[in-house]
Amino acid sequence: MTDLLPTKEREEAQTSLIQAIYEVAIDPNVYDKLVDLWGRHLLATLGEDLQTPQDLSPVVAQHLLRAFEILNRLGRQEQAQAPAQPKSDRAELRLSQSGEILDTSPLATEVLGAAPQGSVFDLALSSESAARLRLEIGGKKASALASNAADDAASEIYVFFTKGDKHPYPMVREQPAEGGTGQDFILAGLHNKWTEAHDQILRKMFGLTDAETRVARELLTGATLPEIAATTGRSVDTLRTQLKSIRRKTYTSNQQQLVRIMTGLETLIKTSSMSSNSSDRTDHHFILPDGRKMAYRCFGPEQGQPCLFIHNMLNGPNFPDALIPEIHRLGLRLICPIRPGFGSSDPDPVSRRHPREAPDRFCADMSAFLKHLGHRRLVAIGHMSGAVFAFRLAQLHPKLITGVFNISGAVPLTDMGQIRAMHYRQQIMALTARFTPRMLPTLLRAGIAQIDAGGVEAFLNALYRQGTPDRAIAEHAEHRDILFTGFRQTVQQGHWSFAIDSHHVVRDWSRYCAFLAQPVILIHGTADPVVTEASAQSFAARMGFQFHSYSDVGQLVLYQQSRDVLQRLKQMASATLE
């Protein structure tokens, strides 16, 4: 603690903090250093029990407020809207005649574990594909690749397996890229990963049962019937019977033919996905009674069971591709307003001046919005900090909201132990919002500067530590893109919406949960870095709510356990809406 240090060391610590305050205005990469130094100073000021805050150093406070003015005058950098890193739509390998990997796309590195100067035969691929690939690369056909690649590329499919889950990953031969030697061997992925859409194609187009679909999927990974029997608990004889049924229904006689069937359906999968989901990702707009514009998105069939998705302060209504077909399959209609001040939705000046009024203001907006859409009964989904608004909406409009479904939801802060249990970055932000709210805008504005300067990766590192379930989820390219999009959506109009949410989540908002007649379920991860399982479970028990937790799952439970979470939401919707 700083207050226990000798006077000279205290002065040096304060000097370092003040230097970082001004450095961050010039170099946004200093943001992490600033938060660390500010955190030490704040913890020392608050004392051991976090209950008896002493006066914050007026010198430090003055410099923080001045830095905020400087950052605001400097304005936002134009590159705020640019992607953090180049995206690759597919996995691609460029191979030499010997099978050496000459170049690889980022997606190929992530999905297959490929790296330049390695050998393609060190990657996981089926034995049949490996034998054929050795013949193609090392045999007489290698010299003719450039001339006939366009003619028979579709017939040359090689089944690789993804690095983590070992799902089949078909790749097809293509013409050499520009700059190649003319003898280069190009393999391009046919899809990013095996998804629910592929399972649906097998089930719907060929009439495969769920059990047969799983067997087909396992066969595509190169597994033998005895291996499948060992992992599924079914007998080899049963699997033989199912295999005969699969071949009869798909009109195939071997593994390669089945792969080619799926390859031919790849275009259908993409076209179907685009036609059914393109409108899902489109921002619509509604003009609120006071003239403000509110953006919103809708996911799922128009006649599906309506659920109001209330997003949190960091992610927005952005979902993985695999989640959208599942929403359609379950017959759910997710209505996702983008809250005031987030994304392209106009800010609410009243909530900005008086953050405590934000939940009631949001409920008034929703009343007009949902009436416009013609929805009279919905389930309210509170995602993380969106829980505050979901509970208040259910409380004020009991006939409109039939149930509350919280995913990684915030819980009322009733003791400082809940803050102490948070990871360091979240803890410092929570303490700042609770005890020194005037200082919070500077930290948030400096964080925006870091994101604007292309420091989204550093921002992500601070949120999700290495070795945690959340970090493992965030390492996936699609999830990372979703998180990056959410961060930029949060800061698109500045820091005030984040500050408004912070005002509520660091206080006891139990009053919004009182006297609810609707069913409530809390979905949580045991490794949540902000709200511990014990805290969420205690809150649920105290209020009489249902509680379900997932082991070894963090705050990103919606991404890690998406199918099960949606299935539970479907159960609540069916029970309360019909």
CATH number at residue 137: 3.30.450
Per-residue confidence band for 502, with pLDDT thresholds at 50, 70 and 90 = confident
CB 509 within 8 A of CB 517: no
Per-residue confidence band for 443, with pLDDT thresholds at 50, 70 and 90 = confident
Percent of the chain surpassing pLDDT 70? 80
For 364, counting Cβ atoms within 10 Å of its Cβ (0-12 exposed, 13-18 middle, 19+ buried), the class is middle
**Better pLDDT: 459 or 99:** 99
Answer whether residue 491 is part of any domain: no
CA 185 to chain CA mean position, Å: 35
- Token pair 């998705």 is at which residue? 309
Do 415 and 561 fall into the same domain?
yes
* Predicted pLDDT at 259: 65
Q: Report the distance separating Cα 488 and Cα 555, nearest Å.
A: 19
Do 162 and 243 fall into the same domain?
no
Do 284 and 340 fall into the same domain?
yes
- Domain boundary (160, 189, 218) is at 189
Which residue type, as a one-letter code, is found at position 368? A
We report the CATH number of the domain holding residue 241 as: 1.10.10
Q: Report the distance separating Cα 170 and Cα 191, nearest Å.
A: 8
Do 294 and 392 fall into the same domain?
yes
| Mean pLDDT computed over every residue of the chain | 80
Copy the structure tokens of residue 224. 């033998």
Length in residues, the chain:
578
Answer whether residue 241 is part of any domain: yes
Do 234 and 222 fall into the same domain?
yes
pTM above 0.85, yes or no: no
Question: Is residue 152 over pLDDT 50?
Answer: no
* Predicted pLDDT at 365: 96
Answer whether residue 471 is part of any domain: no
Answer whether residue 82 is part of any domain: no
Question: Is residue 85 over pLDDT 60?
Answer: no
Number of domains in the chain: 4
Closest CA to 443 of 76, 67, 80: 67
Do 297 and 400 fall into the same domain?
yes
CB 499 within 8 A of CB 436: no
Per-residue confidence band for 474, with pLDDT thresholds at 50, 70 and 90 = confident
* Predicted pLDDT at 251: 72
- Domain boundary (225, 247, 276) is at 276
Least confident range from 34-43, 94-103, 255-264, 448-457: namely: 255-264
* Predicted pLDDT at 154: 35
Do 364 and 391 fall into the same domain?
yes
Answer whether residue 487 is part of any domain: no
Per-residue confidence band for 82, with pLDDT thresholds at 50, 70 and 90 = very low
**Better pLDDT: 217 or 179:** 217
Region 323-334 average pLDDT: 91
Domain holding 287, by residue range, is: 279-421+499-577
Per-residue confidence band for 402, with pLDDT thresholds at 50, 70 and 90 = very high
Do 307 and 394 fall into the same domain?
yes
Q: Report the distance separating Cα 463 and Cα 441, nearest Å.
A: 18
Angle at 109 between CA 103 and CA 114, to 5 degrees: 65
Do 300 and 416 fall into the same domain?
yes
Do 267 and 287 fall into the same domain?
no
Question: Is residue 287 over pLDDT 60?
Answer: yes
Region 337-352 average pLDDT: 92
Answer whether residue 469 is part of any domain: no
Copy the structure tokens of residue 178. 């520009």
The enclosing H or E element of 333 equals strand 332-337
Do 184 and 202 fall into the same domain?
no
* Predicted pLDDT at 189: 77
Answer whether residue 85 is part of any domain: no
3-state secondary structure of 516: coil
Question: Is residue 428 over pLDDT 90?
Answer: no
Looking at mean pLDDT, say which of 161-175, 434-448, 536-550 comes out highest.
536-550
Do 387 and 314 fall into the same domain?
yes
CB 190 within 8 A of CB 162: no
Per-residue confidence band for 146, with pLDDT thresholds at 50, 70 and 90 = very low
- Domain boundary (189, 205, 239) is at 189
Answer whether residue 410 is part of any domain: yes
* Predicted pLDDT at 395: 96
Q: Report the distance separating Cα 454 and Cα 436, nearest Å.
A: 28
